[in-house]
Amino acid sequence: MSDKPIIHCTGVHKWFGDFHALRGIDLDVYEGEVIVIFGPSGSGKSTFIRTINRLEEHQQGEIIVDGIELSHDVRNIELIRMETGMVFQQFNLFPHLSVMQNVTLAPIWVRNLPKEEAEEKAIELLELVGIPEQAHKFPGNLSGGQQQRVAIARALAMEPKIMLFDEPTSALDPEMIKEVLDAMIDLAKSGMTMIVVTHEMGFAREVADRMYFFDEGVIVETGTPDEIYKNPQEDRTKLFLSQILQH
């Protein structure tokens, strides 16, 4: 762990019209850390993770990613997006491109990688997430779990320093959740800096360094998985945990 955070957020506010979605978020992430964010729907957790690569614009506060401050400067935004990979709840694979093209498109056109090199790398990444044999299929012919693993490979192909996961398993059938989580656990253990919005508590327990509980746009509680599970301090955290851990 280095002494300077790779992501540094202070006093981040965000409004959607009159709705105050983020109310002063302070959060630092250090290189190699795995952060899990959880909380009820509408708590601002997805909004927050999307401000980090500027899919949502924050209106107040400061976000610095790998030494680059997020501002209106388009070049800064594109630099930060090259440093951060994102995996979406709905996969968002490009349906008109093959798996291979999905993974190689951005490296070829944004990183200017030669096509052969990009494809070699894509094969490696698809092997890493366990689906090298699907390279020439189209996303529509894959299962949800396979699609999400392609999405992970696609994000990794840009060689990001940080990976953002926005509820990556919420749209999956139960039997497919494990294959995606396994890929994410492998990634976490390889030392990738990750911020994961998820309710998969098993995943959090296994690899998270710290957990943040969001509610109504603020961080209610933070701690290691052990602290959060065994000894939550706040009533809201206790209530929420009891609801999601009931079954």
Partner 1 sequence: MAIKEIEQDFIRPPQPPGPMRWIKENLFSGFINSILTVLLFPAIIYLLYQISKWVLFGANWQAVSQFPMLFAVGQYPRDQIWRVGFIFSGLMFMLGISWGRWGGLLKSIALAAGSLLLLIAVLPVQHPQLDMTMRIYLGSTILLILVGYLIGNKTRLKNATIIAGWFVIPTIGIVLLAGFEASERIPPVQTTLWGGLLVTFLLAAGGIILSFPLGVALAFGRRSDLPVVSGFSTVFIEVIRGVPLVTILFMFSIILALFLPVESRIDRLVRALMAVTVFSAAYSAENVRGGLQSVPLGQIEAAKALGMGKLHTTVFIVLPQALRAVLPAIVGQFISLFKDTTLVVIIGINDFLGIGRSIINSDPEFVQMRTEVYIFMAVVYWIFSYLMSLASRRIESAMGIESNL
Radius of gyration of the chain measured on its C-alpha atoms: 18
The interface region with partner 1, picked from 14-22, 40-48, 76-84, 212-220 by CB under 8 A, is: 76-84
Judged by CB under 8 A, the residue of 155, 180, 183, 188 near partner 1 is 155
The interface region with partner 1, picked from 9-17, 22-30, 102-110, 230-238 by CB under 8 A, is: 102-110
Judged by CB under 8 A, the residue of 3, 72, 140, 235 near partner 1 is 140
Residue 154 in contact with partner 1, rule: CB under 8 A: yes
- CA nearest to 156, candidates 182, 112, 194, 213: 194
Judged by CB under 8 A, the residue of 4, 59, 96, 226 near partner 1 is 96
Judged by CB under 8 A, the residue of 45, 81, 149, 210 near partner 1 is 81
The two structure tokens encoding residue 163: 């990976």
Closer to partner 1 by CB, 73 or 226: give it. Answer: 73
Query: DSSP assignment of 127-193, as one string?
Result: HHTT-GGGTTS-GGGS-HHHHHHHHHHHHHTT--SEEEEESTTTTS-HHHHHHHHHHHHHHHHTT-E
Residue 84 in contact with partner 1, rule: CB under 8 A: yes
Alpha-carbon torsion angle 181, 95, 51, 222, nearest 10: -10
Query: DSSP assignment of 102-121, as one string?
Result: HHHHHHHHTS---HHHHHHH
**Rule CB under 8 A: which residues touch partner 1?**
53, 55, 78, 81-82, 84-86, 88, 90, 92-97, 105-106, 109-110, 138-141, 154-155, 158
